[in-house]
Amino acid sequence: MRIALIGQAAFGESVLNALVEGGEDVVGVFCTPDAEGRPLDPLKAAAESRGVPVFQFRRLRDQSAIDTFTAMNSDLSVMAFVTEIVPESILRAPTLGTIQYHPSLLPRHRGPSSINWPIIQGESMTGLTVFWPDSGLDTGPILLQREVEITVEDTLGSLYFDKLFPAGVDAMVEAVGMVKDGSAPRLAQDESQATYEGWCRAQDVVIDWTRPIREIYNLVKGGDPSPGANTTLNGEVIGLYRASARDDEGNRAPGEVVEISSEGFGVAADGGTLLIGRVQPHGSRKLGAADWAESVGLTAGARFGS
């Protein structure tokens, strides 16, 4: 098959490498334009190193992008990490259609931050879907799905890089093989089970220290490393990372610093203590929590959320 790949970043790079190394004929790569002062997109770099033509358009909805894509006469389009709305004229151009990776078990968690929200909402299972995109947002028929466990310790970073990323690359290669041999299904999504969430932004992960400890813990994990669950100290915003939680009881005020150690510091919440190992003061880089605590003179009894 003549395959056109649309994507970006390390995931797009890995999918490209896996397809080429598996003997597939990738005839073109479409990725985002170069950003001044930023490193070259890994997908573009991999394509150039393999002699695969690279095409870069700010908007795939522009007629020039549509015309370029259509002229490739591809059999299949593979979308690996695509964050913009791709026009139907591109989706339908390949003779066998287009398949796309999405890091959730569709129809649950449609939308752009589908890895953050299952963690924040305290779910124990998520997964990935390879589907046939249509004019809706993550609404097309399902080709295949794989479940992935969300452990108590999983953060956004660990869930993606350790689980959904490698499983996703394998799933994309498997899906391409199924399309090639004619065994790829088109299973309608169950709209009664559909959920949608928008981008997970900093304002969505502001900590309310009166909430239960496990709810706060999930919020911090779901925002680690991005966008970073945050709170305030003396009116200054600070991001919290590398957290763990301890269930305990005590007459402590919500947000009160109850301990400081060489590993970081602990903050009281309803039913337990949130232990913080890394912080990011507003406008600064991330720092070890213990070093930051020493630098600002943090003491037991200080109150976050103030």
Q: What are phi and psi of 243, to 5 degrees?
A: -100, 160
Q: Which residues contact 108 (CB under 8 A, 6 or more apart)?
A: 118, 193, 194, 195
> Could you tell me the sign of the dihedral formed by the alpha carbons of 204, 35, 87, 190, in that order?
negative
Looking at the DSSP assignment, which residues form a beta bridge with residue 2?
Answer: 25
Determine if the peptide bond prior to 42 is cis (ω within 30°): no
pLDDT at 306 over 90: no
What is the pLDDT, as a whole number, of residue 95? 98
What is the pLDDT, as a whole number, of residue 185? 98
pLDDT at 249 over 90: no
Reduce the DSSP state of residue 26 to 3 states and report it: strand
> Could you tell me the sign of the dihedral formed by the alpha carbons of 97, 103, 107, 109, in that order?
negative
What is the pLDDT, as a whole number, of residue 81? 94
pLDDT-above-90 percentage for the chain: 96
Domains and CATH numbers, the chain: 2-193 (3.40.50.170), 202-296 (3.10.25.10)
Rounded mean pLDDT, 112-133: 98
B/e letters for 36-67, b = 16+ CB within 10 Å, e = fewer, are eeeeebbbbebbeeeebeebebeebeeeebbe
Q: pLDDT by residue (tens digit) across 23-41? A: 999 999 999 999 888 999 9
Tell me the residue ranges of DSSP E strands in the chain. 2-7, 25-31, 54-56, 76-80, 98-102, 125-131, 142-149, 230-233, 236-247, 257-261, 264-269, 272-281, 287-288
Rounded mean pLDDT, 39-50: 96
DSSP character at residue 33: P
| Average of per-residue pLDDT values in the chain | 97
What is the pLDDT, as a whole number, of residue 143? 98
Q: Residue 238's pLDDT band (boundaries 50, 70, 90)?
A: very high
Q: 138: which 2 tokens?
A: 């993550």
Of 274, 283, 260, the residue nearest 305 (C-alpha): 274
| pTM for the structure as a whole | 0.95
Of 163, 136, 179, 140, the residue nearest 19 (C-alpha): 179
